[in-house]
Amino acid sequence: QRQRNEKNTTASYSYLDLRIVPFLIPAVCFVGLYSNLPHKEMRFIFPAIPMLNLAAALGMARLHNCAFPAGIKGGDEQKRSGDASVFLFLCGIGCVIVSLVGSSIFLVVSRWNYPGGHALKILQNYVEESKLIDSHNMISVHIDVASAMSGVSLFGQRAAGFTFSKSGYEKENDLGSSSSLQTHTHLLSEKDHVEGFRKVGVAQGYPRIDPRQLRFVTDDAINVLERIS
């Protein structure tokens, strides 16, 4: 009877728990469908992350139970099975560590993902240091497409207190010429040279890892330009 109970206990510790499958399949399908979209953002799959985390946690719990079953004593066959389970459990722990390291790296890199917001902050600091803070009503800033898409939000605009313009994106209302831009005192643009303006700052972006130097490198992304009086 004791041997039968030990055998049943050993068999009960399987690697897969089919109870999670009905809950996991919709989350996987949800991520798969959104992965086919041309425009992808991490926030699109946020609703599926809790269920994926639950499945991962349950899987690690099952691996732990298989690797360290309580109250089981057996022969060589059970020992070999236990060694394999310990190996799989350690692989799971390794995956968690790799995921943590990868997430930490992406967190560091993500601070360069919004050069438009950094450029706006550079402009604010420049205005304050140049004693133009009393002339806010006279400061007009034109934001190009690259700046608007990389962090120049309404919250940042309200905090700055300047007059902003995003017009000119359409071809029939193009503000790309220097003459049409002269109505603005400052520009946030991916172009580093615009006639009638001088560069007063630049925000870094486009982060990547240099495998030779083993460090993060960036390029000039959004330029802060001031009209030449």
Cα 182 to Cα 176: distance, rounded to the nearest angstrom: 11
Amino acid at 23: F
Of 20-24, 36-40, 197-201, give the range with the top mean pLDDT.
197-201
Q: How far is CA 197 from the centre of its chain?
A: 34
**Residue 148 contacts residue 187 (beta carbons within 8 Å):** no
DSSP 133: G
Average pLDDT of the residues in 19-27: 91
Name 124's Cβ contacts closer than 8 Å, sequence gap at least 6. 159, 160
Using an 8 Å Cβ cutoff, are 187 and 156 in contact?
Answer: no
- What's the rounded mean pLDDT across residues 191-195? 90
Any idea what the Cα angle at residue 40 is, between residues 218 and 172, rounded to 5°? Answer: 80
Q: 64 Cβ partners below 8 Å, 6+ apart?
A: 89
Structure tokens at 197: 């303006």
Q: Strand 197-210 relative to strand 215-227: parallel, antiparallel, unpaired?
A: antiparallel
What is the per-residue pLDDT across 128-156, written as a single tens digit (0 to 9) for each?
A: 888 766 655 588 999 999 999 999 998 99
Mean pLDDT, rounded, of the chain: 83
Q: What is the pLDDT of residues 48-67, one digit of tens each?
A: 999 999 999 998 988 888 88
pLDDT at res. 92? 92
pLDDT of residue 150: 92
Task: Centre a 10 Å sphere on the Cβ of residue 51 and count the other Cβ atoms it contains.
Answer: 17
Percent pLDDT > 70 in the chain is: 80
Question: What letter does residue 209 receive in the DSSP assignment?
Answer: E
* Stretch 162-176: mean pLDDT: 67
DSSP 47-101: GGHHHHHHHHHHHHHHHHHHHS-TT----HHHHHHHHHHHHHHHHHHHHHHHHHH
| CA–CA dist 190, 196 (Å, integer) | 16
216 and 209 in contact (C-beta within 8 Å)? yes
